[in-house]
């Protein structure tokens, strides 16, 4: 059997790969599971593994990550698919963030895999779907997560590039804490990642909530966050904000896009939001120039002053 796992949801793809490996391992043993690495082995050797017949074992499980990273490899796979022995279980994995193949579902290789095996697509889940998954995953792990704690956990991880994966890691920690888990415990043990924390700051700047911005900034300075990294993320979020104003299809987390659309509406529409964005751009550019000419402590203070001024 040949599987092709593709899409934007790497967490679900990895989980599906684990399921397939576990099922094969239970029946044939883990010694016959092999990861094929083109960078380490070279494409010719990988191709030989896929079509070759082993003298020592009848059943093999082979998986190839980043199968869509090289358009030549992807093209060659079309001819190889039909030659893979029935005794081999092969999983081809797509990483959409590094994919170079264009119009993937329209390619001859995609159609060949679909005809010969199974094609499974995994898209990013919407926020309510992640929330539903989180509550079920917590229940299955024996974690008593009340509604407030669940919401707080979602808020602390919203905007993360791989939110499900981060939540899965957090659940492993929460399993060992006294139950039930409360919102206060989430605040104590779960620190929002820098992307999420910076987006919270950006949102509060838009809303003009100076006191909330001050609290969030204090939290970042207490953790010795690099001010240059912080201003860089703010600038990136500003670019995304302008893209949402323009209706451009920029790649960003669905939660952030939704939040930015709400911000624009609350600001009174696209024209007012764009005027605000221009003002912020000028202020951040001037602050960045000052930071580059100053020491670490001064740079942090320049950034704090600029952000509080904008709020």
Per residue in 193-218, pLDDT (tens digit) is 777 778 888 888 888 888 888 888 87
pLDDT on residue 276: 92
pLDDT on residue 160: 65
Alpha helix segments (H runs only) across 35-117: 38-41, 43-51, 71-81, 108-116
Low-confidence ranges of the chain (pLDDT < 70): 55-57, 159-161, 192, 223, 251, 253, 296
Span 95-146, pLDDT tens digits = 888 899 999 999 999 999 999 999 999 998 888 999 999 999 999 999 999 8
pLDDT on residue 204: 87
Answer yes or no: pTM beyond 0.85.
Answer: no
What is the CATH architecture of 2-121? 3-Layer(aba) Sandwich (3.40)
Domain ranges of the chain: 2-121, 127-189, 194-310
If we measure between CA atoms, which residue out of 272, 196, 204, 285 comes closest to residue 239?
Answer: 285
Alpha helix segments (H runs only) across the chain: 10-28, 38-41, 43-51, 71-81, 108-116, 127-140, 147-157, 163-174, 183-189, 194-207, 210-222, 227-246, 254-266, 270-292, 296-310
Cα–Cα distance, 175 to 255 (Å, whole number): 27
CATH classification code of 194-310: 1.20.272.10
Collect all residues with Cβ–Cβ distance below 8 Å to 91 and sequence separation of at least 6: 2, 3, 4, 5, 17, 20, 61, 62, 63, 64
pLDDT on residue 102: 93
């Amino acid at each position: 059997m040949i599987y092709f796992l593709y899409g934007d949801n790497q967490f679900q793809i990895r989980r599906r790969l684990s399921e397939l490996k576990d099922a094969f391992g239970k029946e044939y043993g883990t010694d016959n599971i092999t990861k094929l690495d083109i960078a380490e082995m070279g494409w010719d050797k990988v191709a030989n593994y896929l079509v070759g017949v082993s003298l020592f074992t009848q059943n093999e499980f082979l998986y190839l990550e980043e199968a869509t990273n090289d358009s030549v490899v992807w093209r060659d796979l079309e001819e190889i698919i039909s030659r893979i022995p029935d005794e081999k279980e092969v999983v081809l994995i797509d990483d959409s963030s590094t994919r170079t193949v264009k119009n993937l579902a329209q390619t001859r290789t995609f159609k060949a895999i679909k005809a010969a095996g199974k094609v499974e697509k995994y898209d990013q889940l919407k926020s309510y779907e992640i929330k539903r998954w989180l509550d079920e995953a917590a229940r299955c792990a024996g974690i008593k997560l009340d509604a407030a704690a669940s919401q707080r956990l979602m808020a602390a991880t919203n905007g993360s590039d791989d939110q499900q994966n981060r939540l899965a890691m957090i659940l492993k920690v929460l399993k060992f804490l006294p139950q039930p888990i409360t919102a206060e415990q989430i605040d104590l043990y779960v620190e929002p990642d820098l992307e999420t924390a910076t987006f919270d700051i950006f949102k509060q700047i838009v809303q003009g909530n100076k006191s909330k911005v001050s609290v969030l900034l204090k939290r970042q300075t207490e953790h010795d966050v690099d001010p240059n990294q912080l201003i860089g993320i703010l600038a990136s979020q500003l670019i995304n904000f302008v893209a949402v104003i323009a209706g451009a299809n920029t790649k960003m987390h669905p939660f952030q896009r939704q939040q930015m659309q709400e911000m624009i509406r609350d600001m009174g529409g696209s024209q007012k939001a764009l005027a605000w964005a221009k003002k912020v751009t000028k202020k951040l550019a001037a602050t960045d120039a000052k930071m580059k000419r100053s020491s670490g402590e001064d740079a942090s203070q320049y950034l704090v002053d600029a952000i509080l001024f904008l709020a």
